[in-house]
Amino acid sequence: MSFLEIILISISLAMDAFAVAVCKGMAMKNSSTKKGIIVALYFGIFQALMPFIGYMLGIRFEKAINSIDHWIAFALLAIIGINMIKESLKKDEENINDDITFKTMFFLAIATSIDALAIGVTFAFLKVVIYKPLLFIGIITFILSWIGVIIGNRFENKLKNKAETIGGIILILMGLKILLDHLGVF
């Protein structure tokens, strides 16, 4: 997996966390550096942890489904991407407040990183050395989440939907590239 692919996947995965961070920032009366860092740490750590868990699960099943792994990788990325796009098109308002307690942030971090679990499974099927992607996913999510809190505190909710749509499109394109690579098109 190339450096550019790792960066694009990292940014795509961070879009859910960015969108929720924007909402968190909007809910904060006064944005503080401490609150922004706490939100960013939760999202960054979970976005890096979930692909590792998915990778470990994928390694266990890799031999059994080796002949169709590229189809599975494509399907997982496409499903995640389509779901991100569908979520971005919903008009309903999420009920997000400025609460950053462990319970609140733990569940938000899990909810925004479930797609990263599937990416970890995909990495296992593609035999990606996992450490560099985990590092980039965590750092990029941390940075984008922190920026999201700051932006959300200053701007309207218009960014949330666009971020999820772009992230979804990138994941679908990455899945298509993996499939076409394995089919010998590239």
- Neighbour-count burial of 15, counting CB atoms closer than 10 A to its CB (0-12 exposed, 13-18 middle, 19+ buried): buried
More confident residue, 73 or 159: 73
Record the pTM.
0.75
The residue-averaged pLDDT of 57-64 equals 82
Residue 81 CA to residue 172 CA, distance in Å, equals 5
Average pLDDT of the segment spanning 139-161: 82
More confident residue, 144 or 1: 144
* Model pLDDT, residue 33: 87
- pLDDT of res. 174: 75
Predicted pLDDT of residue 159? 58
Contact 178, 70 (CB under 8 A): yes
Read off the tokens for 127: 């035999």
The DSSP secondary structure of 59-97, one letter per residue, reads HHHTTTTGGGHHHHHHHHHHHHHHHHHHHHH--PPP---
Task: Give me the half-sphere count of Cα atoms (radius 13 Å) on the Cβ side of residue 79.
Answer: 12
Task: State the pLDDT at residue 129.
Answer: 93
The mean pLDDT value of the chain amounts to 84
Residue type, 61: F
